[in-house]
Amino acid sequence: MIKISQTFAAALLAGAAMATPAHADDLAAAIHADMPGLMATYRDLHAHPELSFQEIKSAARMADAARKAGFEVTEKVGSTGVVAVMRNGPGPVVLIRADMDALPVVEQTGLAFASKERGTSTAGVESGIMHACGHDTHMTAWMEVAKLLGARKAQWSGTLVMIGQPAEETGAGARAMLADGLFTRFPKPDFALAFHDAAGFPAGRIGYTPGFALANVDSVDIDVKGVGGHGAYPQSTKDPIVLASAIVMRLQTLVSRENNPLEPAVVTVGSFHAGAKHNIIPDDARLQLTVRSYTDESRKHLLDGIRRIAAGEAMAAGMPDDRMPVVTVSDDFTPATFNTPDFSEDVAAYFRGRFGDARVNKVPPVMGGEDFGLFRKTSPDTIRSLIFWVGGVPQAEMDAGARSGKPMPSLHSPFWAPDAEAVIATGAEALSAEAMHLMPHG
Ligand SMILES: [Zn+2]
Ligand SMILES: [Zn+2]
């Protein structure tokens, strides 16, 4: 569900060529040796993407990889979710998450292993399917992390909980796993880690944002009722198109005139449907909004304001009491992702030591959404959490983009084709190294 702004590029393009310092461990060498197999897995996952809550084959594959690595595996947690647990002596509980779902997008990358799959979403919409958000890189890296840590049990002590999460794109997957007992049937984490590929900066770079990193995401429907009739006799109707237009315009003042300019907020009307014919004033008009914020307070202010504006404009239009607009806020709310600030800086410091300063950069927050934040939100005082970015744009494309000034494909674009090898290698090394760092032996 994430869209990353190109402004990342500015922060991340600065800096010298990548220089990787030497490490005491052999993680990078092991990943390099496994890379042909990892790329085969990645290409197969990419060619066979699955929509939200339909991740049957992807989940089976991850479960199989975790079992082979020595984990105790439970499937079908929160519909299609996978939970793999490895208890390895005293120490903290570390959760590592990969999301598994793809998007209803017709792939146009032209890659030899491009997806030709089609499917029908749980909402009943038929379309092409594509891993346009890069969750195939996340799954592949996750399987490698399971293998690496399973083979290095003598080097760490603690409990590892690795989860394959369904339905990140609909904002419902983390909630489904929690509702199905993720933190009661399985060890509850002290630390939670994940990464996401990024379309705004070069392959293999790591970006992190302490504190709020991704936004609250609300979907709001407004059914604007009217009194329909003949287009030539407006005096005997209440026109819902004019009323809905007034609501759309007045909604623009929520962010520009009511919201504190220092508090990030977005109100976008993404869909406006009404009417069937030139000369008929319809009975209603339907608006669909996406609403983004960071804090609980600004979220409440925006949602209350939408209800107030819809009702106020209907009153101004003289709408009868029984034809007032109906405002519905979807239950599929994705809470803002908050990266525990001191923990984020600790992890970043460790990454800098490992990957070199030039590869690890603090980046600004974005208004995209991610349901990873929900895991921490269940126990914000005890769970320390970080989702970081791993750049996926091949360096040659980054350079060409900078020269031409043409916008490059974002996540969710039918053209998004990351440098998967760099993303998987960096993600797998970062996650496994940090997990071992958090669970030192002895
Ligand atoms: Zn996405
Ligand atoms: Zn995503």
Per residue in 174-186, pLDDT (tens digit) is 999 999 999 999 9
How many Cα atoms occupy the beta-carbon half-sphere of 303 within 13 Å? 19
Half-sphere exposure of 369 (CA within 13 A, CB side): 24
Question: 170: CA distance to ligand 1 center in Å?
Answer: 9
> Which ligand is nearest to the Cα of residue 103, counting in written order?
1
pLDDT of residue 331: 83
What residue ranges do the domains of the chain occupy? Answer: 6-215+336-438, 216-329
CATH number of 216-329: 3.30.70.360
Per the prediction, the chain carries an average pLDDT of 94
At 49 the three-state DSSP class reads coil
Interval 289-302 mean pLDDT: 96
pLDDT digits (tens, 9 = 90+) for 62-108: 999 999 999 999 999 999 999 999 999 999 999 999 999 999 999 99
More confident residue, 42 or 123: 42
The candidate with the shortest Cα–Cα distance to 365, out of 340, 339, 343, 334, is: 339
CA of 133 to the centre of ligand 2 (A): 5
Query: What spacing in Å lies between the alpha carbon of 271 and ligand 1's midpoint?
Result: 20
For residues 217-241, give the mean pLDDT.
Answer: 97
Distance CA 246, CA 241 (A): 9
Residues 6+ apart with CB under 8 A from 24: none
Residue 358 pLDDT class (50, 70, 90 cuts)? very high
Tokens found for residue 83: 């939970």
Check residue 24 and give its pLDDT. 65
d(CA 411, CA 375): 23
| CA 140–ligand 2 middle distance (angstroms) | 14
Ligand nearest to the CA of 1: 1
Q: Which CATH class is domain 6-215+336-438?
A: alpha beta
What mean pLDDT comes out for the span 266-276?
Answer: 95
Share of the chain above pLDDT 70, in %: 95
**Cα 240 to ligand 2 centre (Å):** 37
Predicted confidence (pLDDT) per residue in 155-166, tens digit: 999 999 999 999
